[in-house]
Amino acid sequence: MIKVEDLYKSYGETVAVDGISFTAEPGRIFGLLGPNGAGKTTSIDCISGVHKPTSGRILVGDLDIVRNARQAKAQMGVVPQEVALYEEVSARENLHFWGGACGLRGADLKSRAGEVLELTGLIDRADDAVKKFSGGMKRRLNFGCGIMHRPPVLLLDEPSVGIDPQSRVRLLDLVREQASAGVTVLYTTHYMEEAESLCDELAIIDHGTILADGSLDELRSLVGEKDMVKLTGTFDPAEVSRALGDNLPEIEIMESDEAALLVSMSDAAGNLAALLGVLQENGVVLRETSVRRPSLETLFIKMTGKELRE
Ligand SMILES: Nc1ncnc2c1ncn2[C@@H]1O[C@H](COP(=O)(O)OP(=O)(O)OP(=O)(O)O)[C@@H](O)[C@H]1O
Ligand SMILES: [Mg+2]
């Protein structure tokens, strides 16, 4: 289990994490979903003991990461955002190094490295230098290093960024297998679809704070049954706001500028004609219209007032 209570972390003037709390349970995948600079890596670094929190408390199982750093760290496997591998040596040697650093020795170290090479699908390339690996293979090996000592808690910081679709599928399956085996998994990502397909529990984070959290169903229920409609064209935002307010007050404007309008409305299919009619009567020139069903993405927009920045 990981329990984070009111965690703050600032770097000088920059507040990277601004009071977050959550609990990740064994056997489940807890996702931290947020855009660049949201505070995901800072949170992971505080939990893994790389950085000391400015304030707040982090428990790994019963162990406080600040007071019982050594024991708490031994419970955790960390897969960092930046791949941390020795390029000049083989995959197997990298695993031996990381396993050794976590206390594995002798026959156990060797057999575990073999097991992890099988698991990650790298056994055929086990003795090749890592510098000859593709990005996806390095990502899988990076993951393998994190699980060498069979940690009951696994922290994964955007482990699938920049990998090919096949490696991604394999990596996500590996993460699911860890959770099925009872491991507590904390997984950060800025991929909406990944969060939706992988995580049992999710917190949406931006600017160092958690905007919403819960199971996928709980989060979806926050969106309600409203659809999102995105329109592009030429708009006068003040005029749009007045026209919709007067004629269709049930429609909520989420984002509005000269080139695009994003609204939240119930039964978009049935009510779209009325919306387009009001806009056109008020001088809007429309180019494209798209309707999105309620999803995590719509929740994210509702919470932050913007689309997930890449
Ligand atoms: N070592 C540091 N010194 C100063 N500021 C930092 C440092 N590390 C992170 N920050 C700042 O803290 C904030 C959160 O950064 P963090 O790396 O935690 O975000 P992130 O969610 O992991 O983003 P990304 O998706 O880009 O990896 C950002 O404003 C960042 O500039
Ligand atoms: Mg990061």
Over residues 261-282, the pLDDT tens digits come to: 999 998 888 899 999 999 999 9
Residues 6+ apart with CB under 8 A from 14: none
Does residue 307 register a pLDDT over 70? no
Q: How far apart are the first and last CA of the chain?
A: 30
- Using the atom order of ligand 1, give the atom closest to the CA of residue 81: 27
Structure confidence at residue 199 (pLDDT): 96
> In this structure, which residue's CA is closest to atom 5 in ligand 1?
11
> Contact at 8 Å (CB) between 162 and 192?
no
3 state DSSP class of 157: strand
Angle among Cα 75, 189, 92 to the nearest 5 degrees reads 50
For residue 170, pLDDT over 60 is answered with: yes
Residue 92 Cα, ligand 2 centroid: separation in angstroms? Answer: 27
Handedness of CA 23, 157, 306, 164 (dihedral sign): negative
* CA nearest to 199, candidates 80, 33, 3: 33
Q: Is 28 exposed, middle or buried (0-12, 13-18, 19+ CB in 10 A)?
A: middle
- Of 47, 170, 151, the closest CA to residue 99 belongs to 151
What is the per-residue pLDDT across 126-140, written as a single tens digit (0 to 9) for each?
A: 999 999 999 899 999
Output the pTM of the full model: 0.84
> Looking at the predicted structure, is the pLDDT value of residue 308 above 70?
no
pLDDT digits (tens, 9 = 90+) for 232-261: 999 999 999 999 999 999 999 988 999 999
If one residue of 8, 9, 13, 14 were mutated to test the ligand 1 pocket, choosing by the most ligand atoms within 8 A of its CB, it would be 14
Q: Which percentage of the chain shows pLDDT scores above 90? A: 81
The answer to whether 35 and 191 are in contact (CB under 8 A) is no
Domains of the chain (ranges plus CATH)?
A: 2-216 (3.40.50.300), 225-293 (3.30.70.1150)
d(CA 73, CA 54): 19
Dihedral (CA of 49, 55, 58, 64) sign: positive
Q: Is 262 helix (H, G, I), strand (E, B) or coil?
A: strand
Residue 95 has pLDDT above 90, yes or no: yes
- Does the structure show a pLDDT above 90 at 179? yes
The binding-site residues of ligand 1, defined as CB within 6 angstroms of any ligand atom, are: 11, 14, 16, 34, 36-42, 81, 190
pLDDT for res 310: 46
Tell me the pLDDT tens digit for each residue of 109-167: 999 999 999 999 999 999 999 999 998 999 999 999 999 999 999 999 999 988 888 88
Residue 226 has pLDDT above 50, yes or no: yes
Q: Tokens 């695009």 map to which residue?
A: 260
Q: Which ligand is nearest to the CA of 16?
A: 1
Residues 42-94: pLDDT tens digits?
A: 999 999 999 999 999 999 999 999 999 999 999 999 999 999 999 999 999 99
Q: Which residue has the tokens 């594995």?
A: 104
Nearest residue to 83 (alpha-carbon basis) of 34, 124, 141, 38: 141
Residue whose CA is closest, atom 4 of ligand 1? 11
Mean pLDDT of 12-30: 97
The dihedrals phi and psi of 161, each to the nearest 5 degrees, come to: -65, 130
List the single range of 16-30, 54-68, 295-309 with lowest mean pLDDT: 295-309
